[in-house]
Amino acid sequence: MALPPTPDPSAFMREMLGQWEQMTNQLGGEMMKSGEFARVVQGASTAQMKAQAAAHQMMDKALAAANMPSRSEVEDLSARLRGVEETVGRIEALLMAQAGIKPPERPKPKRTRKPPAKD
């Protein structure tokens, strides 16, 4: 006597997953069409932006109380320092050109497959 074929559990799971995806897509599509959904998403975005701004303000106050610079102050200082370094570089190049001195050449890295030797 032949045994009846056993059902394929993976085929059953694939079919269930496909039905679940269809229902979820249908429900999600209907929900996104409503104006209420747009208002909720907009409200959530606004709340997130306000919370982020409040966190930045609290961090700035905490850093000021600890007598430490904020991130924006460090970025401003970095930009100013970069400008000063560029100006000094130009002045140095002009002085060397007037004195007839060639700028020193920077050593180029060796192009080998071996890593540099550790000293």
Which of 74, 77, 46, 81 has the alpha carbon at shortest distance from 60?
Answer: 74
Higher pLDDT, 26 or 105: 26
Q: Which residues contact 31 (CB under 8 A, 6 or more apart)?
A: 37
| CA 69/CA 67 separation, integer angstroms | 7
| For the chain, domain boundaries | 34-67, 69-102
Whole-number mean pLDDT of the chain?
Answer: 87
Q: To 5 degrees, how large is the angle CA 87–CA 88–CA 91? A: 90
pLDDT tens across 23-66, in order? 999 988 888 888 888 899 899 999 999 999 999 999 989 988 99
Q: What is the DSSP letter of 73?
A: H
